[in-house]
């Protein structure tokens, strides 16, 4: 009999809760998925708002401030039990591999989560776009140039960056599950998420509110922002995110822990 991994006991419990929630109340699951993008929208908004201020202080400071403030998004999501599509890529892949749920059910949960992440991202970003920090922005500000850079990336770049982004996100999720102290969890999440935020990697769910906010704040006139460029980014970021979160971290660690060795997580 394979030794029981404490980490995967927690993952199995989380999967069971997700299954129980979506089967017991689809609406409540959908709302939790929308809440994930409420927190992402707030994190994205404050990150870009403070980054724009930082760039006026000294060039380059904005990027560091952006990465630090954006990292708080995942803290809010994890501590308030919101449903994030990119972390569910790990959970659903692990659940199927460990035979905790069927492929159709895993697909239903993941599709529902991403769909309502999208709805929440568009809705909450549209509302935040009406607030003071995003009125009358200069065309060359840090926010707009960052979004333009995202939309100009090649397919391969988006795929690779998407992969690394979700490796980082799910590393933060798994590390936080191993820690008992709340202060340690928060610090770990912030500094791990800082990695992908500072490096500018592509996270499909975070891009939902970011693109919406940029479109509305620019009055729909942002250079390089077209339906085709947005869909290109989101599609290949989604694929890259699944490779990183679902296959590398989810399937990879599930396989590593499916062992008779005592070396398990």
Would you give the DSSP letter of residue 260?
S
3-state class (DSSP) for residue 254: helix
Rounded to an integer, what distance in angstroms lies between the CA atom of residue 255 and that of residue 261?
Answer: 12
Burial 42-54 (b: 16+ CB within 10 A, else e): bbbbbbbbbbbeb
Tell me the longest C-alpha to C-alpha distance in the chain.
Answer: 64
- Contact of 147 with 52, CB cutoff 8 Å: no
Q: What is the pTM of this model?
A: 0.95
Cα-based torsion angle of the residue sequence 41, 42, 46, 52 in order, rounded to the nearest 10 degrees: 20
Cα-based torsion angle of the residue sequence 50, 52, 58, 59 in order, rounded to the nearest 10 degrees: 130
Question: 99: buried, middle or exposed (CB in 10 Å: 19+, 13-18, 0-12)?
Answer: exposed
CB atoms within 10 A of CB 88: 28
Nearest by Cα to 167 from 253, 248, 75, 255: 248
Q: Quick one: how far is CA 235 from the chain centroid?
A: 14
**End-to-end Cα spacing for the chain:** 16
**Distances, alpha carbon 74 to alpha carbons 11, 176, 213, in Å:** 17, 11, 19
> Which pLDDT belongs to residue 5?
84
| Overall CATH class of domain 6-256 | mainly alpha
> Which pLDDT belongs to residue 1?
54
> Which pLDDT belongs to residue 260?
82
What is the chain's pLDDT, residue by residue, as a tens digit (265 residues)? 566 688 999 999 999 999 999 999 999 999 999 999 999 999 999 999 999 999 999 999 999 999 999 999 999 999 999 999 999 999 999 999 999 999 999 999 999 999 999 999 999 999 999 999 999 999 999 999 999 999 999 999 999 999 999 999 999 999 999 998 999 999 999 999 999 999 999 999 999 999 999 999 999 999 999 999 999 999 999 999 999 999 999 999 999 998 888 888 8
């Amino acid at each position: 009999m394979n030794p029981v991994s404490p980490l995967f006991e927690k993952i199995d419990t989380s999967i069971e809760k997700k299954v129980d929630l979506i089967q017991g109340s689809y609406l409540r699951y959908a709302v939790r998925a929308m809440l994930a993008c409420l927190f992402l929208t707030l994190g994205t908004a404050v990150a870009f708002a403070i980054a724009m201020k930082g760039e006026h202080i000294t060039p380059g400071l904005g990027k560091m401030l952006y990465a630090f403030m954006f990292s708080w998004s995942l803290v809010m999501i994890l501590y308030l039990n919101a449903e994030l599509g990119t972390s569910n890529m790990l959970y659903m892949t692990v659940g199927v591999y460990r035979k905790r749920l069927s492929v159709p059910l895993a697909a239903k949960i993941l599709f529902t989560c991403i769909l309502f992440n999208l709805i929440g991202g568009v809705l909450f970003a549209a509302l935040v776009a009406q607030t003071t920090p995003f009125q009358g922005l200069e065309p060359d500000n840090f926010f707009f140039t960052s979004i333009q850079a995202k939309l100009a990336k090649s397919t391969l770049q988006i795929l690779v960056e998407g992969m690394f982004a979700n490796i980082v996100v799910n590393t933060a999720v798994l590390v936080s599950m191993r820690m008992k102290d709340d202060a340690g969890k928060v610090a770990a999440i912030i500094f791990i998420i800082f990695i992908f935020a500072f490096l500018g990697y592509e996270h499909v769910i975070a891009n939902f509110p970011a693109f919406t906010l940029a479109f509305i704040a620019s009055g729909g006139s942002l250079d390089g922002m077209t339906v085709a460029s947005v869909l290109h980014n989101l599609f290949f970021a989604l694929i890259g995110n699944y490779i990183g979160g679902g296959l590398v971290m989810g399937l990879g660690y599930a396989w590593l822990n499916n062992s008779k060795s005592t070396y398990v997580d």
